[in-house]
């Protein structure tokens, strides 16, 4: 009471006690209603149309041959991603080298392997045995120490790995090169001025910073690979899509089987997307002042914020009444 009286007159809030009416957004409400109706229609048709045959989908989702197909898809993707990015990094470093021949070879590789369709490359590798009956290990233009039958060395799986991996390397090379170019010139200079050895400059200073640019595009490529592996069905290799097509060829249940495959591809992509979040977060160290919260942290934050929002409302109400009560 004394506090209130001792306040100078200018401090009295002339707007106190006025009622606040929230702005209305009729357009937003209308749009929301339209989308809700559309969504309900889609869901309704998914559930009520018997031709989706959800029972069949469910029955085949965990079937042994399907799971084996999924495993083959994962295997193909991981091996070709590792092969592609390893070779791609070498190609990127060649492209940035001082030697004109190394630069030209790297450029030529990317040119050829990006120009020829993947399906064509796969069939070429599979038919390599026609061109070269045996592959020899030895001195160039000199004697050979060992000889291998091409046919036994490059089977379906080998052809798929070679085709996907070499094709991927051409794209990965450009991604890695873009990443290296994105690192500030001052970083190379500082590393050189400190006398840090060349290899260490790459592995410790440049590449970790390049990763911030590389990761999002690289994950894009890996997701592309997951689905892209379906193209090796031309080699009759038992990955997910080939397995599914074999099953629907036998059972004529085409649509449900395609849905089974689609669900598995979505699951694989989701897993990669989650991993991407954490990898990006790791390489963001130092690039941002504070790291973005993980989904778990955000959830916890929202919960506590929600709780505290509930509490202060009550507190604000009592404090608002305070002067009157006194």
- Segment interacting with another protein, rule: CB under 8 A, options 2-10, 70-78, 181-189, 232-240: 181-189
**Residue selected from 134, 150, 187, 220 as contacting another protein according to rule CB under 8 A:** 187
Strand, helix or coil for residue 137: strand
Least separation in angstroms between residue 86's CB and another protein is: 22
Cα(77)–Cα(69) distance, integer angstroms: 12
- Segment interacting with another protein, rule: CB under 8 A, options 15-23, 141-149, 198-206, 233-241: 198-206
Q: 123 vs 196, which CB is nearer to another protein?
A: 196
Least separation in angstroms between residue 280's CB and another protein is: 13
Least separation in angstroms between residue 191's CB and another protein is: 8
Q: 67 vs 93, which CB is nearer to another protein?
A: 93
Long-range CB contacts (within 8 A, 24+) of 9-12 = none
CB atoms within 10 A of CB 100: 8
**Residue selected from 149, 189, 216, 277 as contacting another protein according to rule CB under 8 A:** 189
Strand, helix or coil for residue 144: strand
- Segment interacting with another protein, rule: CB under 8 A, options 12-20, 42-50, 184-192, 296-304: 184-192
**Residue selected from 107, 118, 174, 208 as contacting another protein according to rule CB under 8 A:** 208
**Residue selected from 104, 190, 236, 317 as contacting another protein according to rule CB under 8 A:** 190
**Contact indicator for 219, 71 with CB cutoff of 8 Å:** no
**Contact indicator for 197, 243 with CB cutoff of 8 Å:** no
Least separation in angstroms between residue 160's CB and another protein is: 37
DSSP string covering 262-325, please? HHHHHHHHHHHHHHHHHHHHHHTBTTBSSPPPPHHHHHHHHHHHHHHHHHHHHHHHHHHHHHHH
Does an H or E element contain 136, and which?
Answer: strand 134-138
Total binding residues toward another protein, as defined by CB under 8 A: 24
Q: 1 vs 193, which CB is nearer to another protein?
A: 193
Cα(323)–Cα(151) distance, integer angstroms: 92
Least separation in angstroms between residue 94's CB and another protein is: 17
- Segment interacting with another protein, rule: CB under 8 A, options 59-67, 102-110, 117-125, 196-204: 196-204
- Touching another protein, residues 99-158 (CB under 8 A): none
Distances (CA, A) of 77 to 154, 254, 256: 18, 25, 25
Cα(256)–Cα(117) distance, integer angstroms: 30
Query: What is the torsion angle, in degrees rounded to the nearest 10, for the CA atoms of residue 34, residue 40, residue 45 and residue 46?
Result: 130
CB atoms within 10 A of CB 109: 19
Binding mask 254-293 for another protein (x = CB under 8 A): -----------------------------x-xxxxx----
Binding mask 209-238 for another protein (x = CB under 8 A): x-----------------------------
β-bridge mates for residue 146, sequence order: 137
**Residue selected from 62, 108, 197, 292 as contacting another protein according to rule CB under 8 A:** 197
Point out which residues bind another protein (CB under 8 A).
184, 186-187, 189-198, 200, 204-205, 208-209, 283, 285-289
């Amino acid at each position: 009471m004394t506090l209130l009286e001792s306040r100078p007159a200018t401090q009295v809030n002339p707007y106190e006690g006025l009622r606040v009416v929230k702005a209305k957004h009729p357009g937003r409400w209308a749009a929301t209603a339209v989308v809700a109706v559309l969504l309900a229609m889609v869901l309704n048709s998914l559930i009520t149309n018997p031709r989706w045959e959800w029972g069949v989908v469910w029955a085949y989702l965990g079937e042994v041959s399907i799971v084996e197909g999924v495993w083959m898809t994962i295997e193909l993707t991981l091996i070709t991603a590792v092969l592609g990015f390893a070779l791609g990094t070498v190609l990127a470093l060649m492209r940035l080298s001082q030697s004109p021949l190394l630069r030209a070879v790297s450029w030529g590789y990317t040119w050829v392997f990006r120009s020829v369709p993947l399906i064509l490359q796969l069939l070429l590798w599979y038919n390599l045995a026609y061109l070269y009956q045996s592959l020899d290990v030895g001195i160039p233009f000199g004697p050979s120490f060992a000889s291998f039958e091409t046919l036994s060395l490059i089977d379906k799986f080998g052809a798929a790995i070679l085709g996907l991996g070499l094709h991927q390397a051409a794209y990965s090379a450009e991604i890695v090169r873009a990443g290296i170019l994105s690192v500030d010139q001052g970083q190379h200079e500082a590393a050189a001025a400190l006398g840090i050895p060349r290899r260490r400059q790459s592995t410790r200073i440049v590449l970790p910073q390049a990763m911030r640019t590389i990761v999002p595009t690289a994950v894009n490529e890996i997701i592309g690979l997951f689905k892209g592996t379906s193209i090796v069905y031309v080699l009759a290799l038992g990955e997910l899509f080939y397995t599914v097509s074999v099953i629907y060829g036998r059972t004529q249940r085409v649509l449900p089987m395609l849905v089974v495959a689609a669900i598995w591809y979505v699951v694989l992509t989701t897993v990669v997307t989650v991993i991407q979040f954490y990898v990006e977060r790791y390489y963001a160290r130092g690039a941002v002042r504070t790291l973005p919260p993980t989904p778990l942290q955000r959830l916890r934050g929202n919960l506590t914020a929600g709780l505290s929002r509930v509490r202060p409302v009550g507190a604000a109400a009592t404090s608002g009444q305070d002067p009157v009560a006194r």
